[in-house]
Amino acid sequence: MPILTARGLRKTYGELEVVAGIDLAIEPGECFGLLGPNGAGKTTTLRLLLGLIAPDAGEIEMLDQPIPRQARSARLRVGVVPQMDNLDPDFTVRENLMVYGRYFGLKDAEIAARIPELLEFSDLSHRADSRIQALSGGMKRRLTLARALINDPELIFLDEPTTGLDPQARHVMWQWLRRLLAQGKTIVLTTHFMDEAERLCDRLAILDHGRIIAEGSPRELIAQHIESSVVEIFGETVDAWATEFGGALCERSEKAGESLFCYTRDGEPLLQNLRTQTGMRYLHRPANLEDVFLKLTGRDLRD
């Protein structure tokens, strides 16, 4: 039984269909990623799933409750980490957790009993009585996650959980999300970091223009949509090289500025050729989710 299902979800703003028919089924205990370029409809989809906004069409069921009709009571068992930190700046770390717990109808004593565990989990025990302004970006993010766990939720939504964090903080955040998964929690996250999705998610859906254009495990998506290896070639003579050899040595290639992305299943002939070239640098690597993403959603900027 999925913990969260959505069928035929649609949402239109003016002329723009931001969510244009989305179907999802998220299983208990999995980490499900919603990927997509800016404006693909990720955040709107999340708001629909949480029952904060009503869809124009479609049905949602979360934790056996119809959404948005029973959204409020379904959210008793859900945690949310929003894209922008919205901690209370006038409160200390501990007060933020206490005040938030009350919104779940928890008694002060219950919340107080839970706070030390959450502070330890988020490595903020030593900062329990610090004001929010005194915390670093990473600490605020960790507190936002701790706050989302105040009700011991079964299902946790994270909207771009590591945007704006330094590499150390991102890796720590990933460790914690894995720990939550190990405890049996279900995670739904949006991200546009492919490495994040590849590391954490059991399954993911790539969203573009309000539709799911691909769905599966990271490995499946790579195997289905893209050649196994990529050679990135940079340099001023790339164009000339591409006209001469590109067609024969690359199964498929994409040009982006002065770089050529050459996709192939057997890179050996290509690499042999490149070793004899001067004036170009190249990088040979296995294909990853980002290649799939760029292939499916294109290289144009979305802002």
Partner 1 sequence: MRANFFPLPVLSLRFIPVWRRHFLVWRKLAIPSILGNLADPMLYMLGLGYGLGSLMPQVSGVPYIAFLAAGTVCYSTMNSATFEVLYSGFSRMHVQKTWEAILNAPMALDDVLMGEWVWAASKSLLSGMAILLIIWLMGLYQSFWLTLWVIPLVFLMGLCFGGMGLVMTAVSPSYDFFMYYFTLVITPMVLLCGVFFPVSQLPSLLQAISAWLPLTHAIQLVRPLLLGQVPLDAGLHVLALLAYGGVGFYLALGLTRRRLLK
Amino acid 224 reads: Q
Contact flag: residue 52 with partner 1 (CB under 8 A): yes
Residue 104 interacts with partner 1 (CB under 8 A)? yes
Assess 8 for contact with partner 1 (CB under 8 A). Answer: no
Q: Is 140 in the site for partner 1 (CB under 8 A)?
A: no
Tell me, by CB under 8 A, how many residues bind partner 1: 28
> Other C-beta atoms within 10 Å of 206: how many?
25
Angle at 67 between CA 65 and CA 69, to 5 degrees: 90
Quote the DSSP letter at residue 92.
Answer: B
Residue 73 in tokens: 């009571």
Question: Do 245 and 283 touch, CB atoms closer than 8 A?
Answer: no
Q: Does 13 bind partner 1 (CB under 8 A)?
A: yes
Please pick, from the candidates 69, 72, 265, 285, the single residue that binds partner 1 as defined by CB under 8 A. Answer: 72
Select from 29-37, 49-57, 170-178, 235-243 the region that touches partner 1 (CB under 8 A). Answer: 49-57
Q: Residue 21 interacts with partner 1 (CB under 8 A)?
A: no
Strands of the 281-286 sheet, one edge to the other: 252-256, 259-264, 229-234, 281-286
Between 91 and 121, name the residue whose CB sits nearer to partner 1.
91
**24 CB-near residues (< 8 Å, 6+ apart):** 4, 5, 6, 9, 32, 49, 205, 212
User: Binding to partner 1 by residue 54, rule CB under 8 A?
Assistant: yes
CB environment 254-281: b (16+ within 10 A), e (fewer)? beeeebbbbbbeebeebeeebeeeeebe
- For partner 1, the binding residues in 73-102 under the rule CB under 8 A are 73, 75-76, 80, 82, 84, 86-91, 95, 99-100, 102
Name which of 25 and 53 has its Cβ closer to partner 1: 53
User: Could you tell me which of 160, 196, 163, 187 has the C-alpha nearest to residue 288?
Assistant: 196
| Contact status: 134 vs partner 1 (CB under 8 A) | no
Shortest distance in whole angstroms from residue 38 CB to partner 1: 20
Residue 154 beta carbon to partner 1: minimum distance, rounded to whole angstroms: 14
The CA-based angle 200-25-155, given to 5 degrees, is: 55
Residue 285 sits in the site that holds partner 1 (CB under 8 A) = no
Contacts to partner 1 by CB under 8 A: 13, 50, 52-54, 56-57, 72-73, 75-76, 80, 82, 84, 86-91, 95, 99-100, 102-105, 151
